[in-house]
Structure 1
Amino acid sequence: MGLNAMTPKPSSSLIDLRRRAVLTGGVGFVLASCSPSDNEPADNKSSAPGDPQASASPERIVTLLGDSITAGYGLPSSQALPVKLEEALEAAGLAVRVRGAGVSGDTTGGGLARLDHSVQDDTDLCIVALGGNDMLQGVEPAVVRANLQAIISGLKARGIPVLLAGMRAPAQYGSYAAEFDRVFTDLARQDDIPAYPFLLEGVALDRRYNQPDGIHPNAEGVRIIAAGLAPVVAEALSTTKPG
């Protein structure tokens, strides 16, 4: 059944905290639990780079393992994060293909359950961007940590380098927020892997960069995420050999 079977039901105190978070704008830190069919591109894989200059170098494969943010919820496939990240990396002179492996509503347990078939063996770098839905459901940080650790260990066992993209809980979550946030920094340090501290940096809580639901980034928000993430991905790729 996997580690996600351990997911506890949110306590009444956490439900109250989530309500307060919504009322005070904390909703920007939480990912919606929507089905994969809800306004999501049918295929968010980006096409191979067409730049002749880039094709002179071996193409690197980056896989984005995540949820609705990486799946491009509410956006055409051309505006989804895999495509925009690929474009940002190509603009930096890298020959890279970014594969989208995001499923809306996925938790860390869901990502772990589909890890082997969602991340192909030729991946040069896997960006693990999960955790927001765990927070929404009140999953204990210890379970989030265990699921992410299993994902990281599973990828490492297959010789696939990992970049961990963090998520942050709103301050209204109190002690839960502090414990949840530490999961990502602790794992990056413990497993000696590169990290991007907060996937929604510069986008969360800003109405200009989010869709009307106040949760999912709009096209400009995705561009900001891609621009911030790209240098970290490029640095991570520079330390790995092509697969």
Structure 2
Amino acid sequence: MKSPYFSYAAQGALLQAALSLAACQAAPDDADIANVAATPAPSPARPVQRVPIAGPKRLILAFGDSLYAGYGLQRGESLPDAVQDRLRAGGIDARIVNAGVSGDTTADGRRRLVYTLDRLERKPDLVMLGLGGNDVLRQIDPKETRANLAAMLDELERRQIPVVLTGMMTPPNLGPDFAARFNRIWPDLAKAHDAPLYPFILDGVLGNRALMLPDGVHPNAVGVTRIADRVTPMVEKALQAP
């Protein structure tokens, strides 16, 4: 896979052009676990199940923003749905609870993480953590973003819940200083907490009109499947870790 740093830099102007559109999205209440917007997208083919489902039941919490919530997609087309489909196609008895909330910053996620975990029927076997995109849109100080993500990882570590991180990166026109401070957050925290990291969630999708919604910021249903194809092996490996 080519460097996510290169691919994001190449598409920085496109992302910046879409900032005003994305910044206008309204965030639903914390109780809205699965956000389904009105704009439909073409439904991709679901993976064909080839392996009988077996083994222990696995509960995964997908905790993030609109890129997890499935903004602009039909119900069942979000990234957590696509990852769940692929895990089950591989014979893993997994269920993913989608706690993606459109518009959430890392500060919003920090405020609702404990509440969300406590509402689950049991401790999850894994958390997919994907926040930070709205911090970029609002140009929040990377120091705050880092502190919020670190606090969430500390809480998950305290509860002995493993994590897979899906990272975010800045468009280059925000300046080298901002980019240097922001882009290091995920690699640094992944190393500190020994967490698998997918460095840039929109790698290989951002900038491809066939894979994005008209806003140029969110993937369409086909784009989601491309992301899921790359993220699912990391999730599967994390579930199998001792």
Common fold, TM-score beyond 0.5? yes
Partner residue, 2:165? 164
How far apart in 1 are the matches of 2:193 and 2:91?
29
**In terms of mean alpha carbon deviation, does 157-166 or 124-133 score higher?**
157-166
The answer to whether 1:35 aligns with 2:35 is no
CA contact (8 A) 1:27 1:215 kept: no
Offset, 1:29: 8.8
Partner residue, 1:53? 52
Q: How does 1:212-223 map to 2 (within 5 A)?
A: 212-223=214-225
Partner residue, 1:101? 99
TM-score, normalised to structure 1's length? Answer: 0.80
CA contact (8 A) 2:51 2:89 kept: no
Q: Which runs of 5+ in 1 are unaligned?
A: 1-20, 43-49
Partner residue, 1:173? 174
Which runs of 4 or more aligned residues in structure 1 lie more than 4 Å from their structure 2 counterparts after TM superposition? 28-31
Partner residue, 1:11? none
How far apart in 2 are the matches of 1:173 and 1:51?
46
Give the alignment's Cα RMSD to 1 decimal.
2.5
**In terms of mean alpha carbon deviation, does 102-111 or 169-178 score higher?**
169-178
Q: Percent of aligned positions with the same letter in both sequences?
A: 41
CA contact (8 A) 1:211 1:218 kept: yes
The answer to whether 1:136 aligns with 2:137 is yes
User: Structure 1 60/29 Cα, relative in aligned 2: closer, same or farther at 3 Å?
Assistant: farther
Partner residue, 2:15? 26
1:93-115 per-residue CA deviation (whole Å, 9 max, x = no partner) reads 22211110000000000001000
- The one-letter amino acid of 1:89's match is L
User: Structure 1 36/143 Cα, relative in aligned 2: closer, same or farther at 3 Å?
Assistant: closer
TM-score, normalised to structure 2's length? Answer: 0.80
Offset, 1:174: 2.0
CA contact (8 A) 2:12 2:172 kept: no
The answer to whether 1:111 aligns with 2:109 is yes
CA contact (8 A) 2:62 2:127 kept: yes
Q: Which runs of 5+ in 2 are unaligned?
A: 1-9, 29-33, 38-48
Equivalent pairs, count: 211
CA contact (8 A) 2:66 2:100 kept: yes
User: Structure 1 189/52 Cα, relative in aligned 2: closer, same or farther at 3 Å?
Assistant: closer
Q: How does 1:2-13 map to 2 (within 5 A)?
A: none
Partner residue, 1:68? 66
- The one-letter amino acid of 1:88's match is R
User: Structure 1 221/22 Cα, relative in aligned 2: closer, same or farther at 3 Å?
Assistant: closer
SS at match of 2:173: helix
Partner residue, 1:186? 188
CA contact (8 A) 1:166 1:196 kept: yes
SS at match of 1:25: helix
Offset, 1:90: 1.6
How far apart in 2 are the matches of 1:159 and 1:57?
21
Offset, 1:92: 2.4
How far apart in 1 are the matches of 2:94 and 2:18?
29
Offset, 1:28: 8.2
How far apart in 2 are the matches of 1:191 and 1:29?
33
Partner residue, 1:147? 148
CA contact (8 A) 2:62 2:99 kept: yes
User: Structure 1 90/169 Cα, relative in aligned 2: closer, same or farther at 3 Å?
Assistant: same
How far apart in 2 are the matches of 1:196 and 1:118?
23
How far apart in 1 are the matches of 2:137 and 2:205?
18
How far apart in 2 are the matches of 1:28 and 1:185?
27
SS at match of 1:100: strand
